Amino acid sequence: MGNRTHKDNLMKTFKQLIGKDLPIADEEELNELSPAQRRARKQAYLKKTMAKYGQAAKMGIPASQVNQRRNAPTRKKS
């Protein structure tokens, strides 16, 4: 049983981590974003998405064919 695999090594390090005392975040750290910051992030994401679909329309790609997982307007595979 001298053959250790990568998975065995990972489990060993994970078990070592579990044994240690990990710091627990207090409530202030969990609620870092204020509502205004959250709104600003959503607004920035919306602007980026709208720009992508606008650019795709100029390129002649219908909105239903735009790949949602990309930042650039690319056509879906199927």
Tens digit of each residue's pLDDT (9 = 90 or more) over 20-34: 665 665 555 556 788
Say if pTM beats, i.e. exceeds, 0.75: no
Q: Which residues, listed in sequence order, are joined to residue 66 by a DSSP beta bridge? A: 75
Distances (CA, A) of 29 to 6, 16, 78: 35, 26, 43
Per-residue exposure over 19-49, b if at least 16 CB sit within 10 Å of its own CB, e if not: eeeeeeeeeeeeeeeeeeeeeeeeeeeeeee
Tens digit of each residue's pLDDT (9 = 90 or more) over 16-73: 666 666 566 555 555 678 889 999 999 999 999 999 999 999 999 998 898 877 777 8
